[in-house]
Structure 1
Amino acid sequence: MYVQPYVFFNGRCEEALKYYTEKLGAEVLLLMRYKDAPPSPDPQNQPRPGLEEKIMHATIKLGSTNWMASDGHCDPQAGPMNGFSLSLTADDAASAEKYFNALADGGQVMMPFQPTFWSKGFGMLVDRFGLAWMVTVPEE
C-alpha cells in the first residue's frame, strides 16, 4: 500500500504543472481534460460549462514520486489549500536550496531555508499556487 497526494488547483492546474516541470524537473505522465471524459449517465452530475479545457486529472512524476492533480471544480468560492504540505527531500543542500528558491518565487516564505538542528537545510513556504511545501536535506 502507498499514499499519493492529490492536489486540486482550482483552475490553475495547467499553469502549476508547467511551472513545476520547468523549475523542479517534474514530468507529466498523464493528462486528461474534462472534454476527454465520456458523458455522465447522471444528468445531475455533469461538468459545469466552461470547464472543457480544464484538467480533470493529471499524474505527475517528481523525482521518484508520482502524485496527482486537477483543476477541480474551479469554484470561485473555494478557500485556500490548507491542512497539509508536500515535503520535498533533495539529494543535497545545493539542490534543496535551488528547489526552495524556485518554489518561493511568487510565493510566501514561512521559514527561510537554513541549517537546523535536524538538517543541513530546511525551509517552509507556500508557492504561488497556494500549495505548502517543506524542503529539506536528508540526514547523512
Structure 2
Amino acid sequence: MNVKFTPFIMLDGQANEAIRFYEQALGAKVVFKQTFGETPEAADASMTEEAKNRIAHSVLIVGGSELFVSDSEPHLRLERGDQVNICITVKEAAEAERLYDALRSDGKVLSPLQSLYFSPAYGMVTDRFGVTFQIFTERS
C-alpha cells in the first residue's frame, strides 16, 4: 500500500497570514497556493468576495517535508483544536474508499467521499478518537 501522510492546517480566514508566518519562522517555501476564487466553484455567483479571497489550498515545503495550509470552506465549521488534521494521500479510489469507511466507523463524516475537481475520491472524517482525516486520491 502506497500511502502518504501530510499535516494539514485549516484556519478560518487567517491562512495567508499563517503562510507568511511559516515562511519567516520555519523557512517554508510556498510551492502552490490557490484561492477559492481560482477554483471551478468560483463561477457560483453566490460566492462573496471575502470567500473568493480565502485560501483553498497551499503546499509549503519545510526542509524535506510538506505542510498543507488552507482556510476552511464557509459551510465547514471547525472547532478550535480541529485546525490541524492529517491528509492521507492514496493513488486509487478503491483504497480511499477502504480508508474512509474504516475511519468513519463510530466517527463523524464531515465531507462525504466523492469526486471533486481536484480529486476522483475526496472526503473528510473525524474518527472515534476525535482525530480528523482528509482522504485524498491523486488524479491519474
TM-score computed with the length of structure 1 as normaliser:
0.49
Larger radius of gyration between Structure 1 and Structure 2: 1
TM-score computed with the length of structure 2 as normaliser:
0.49
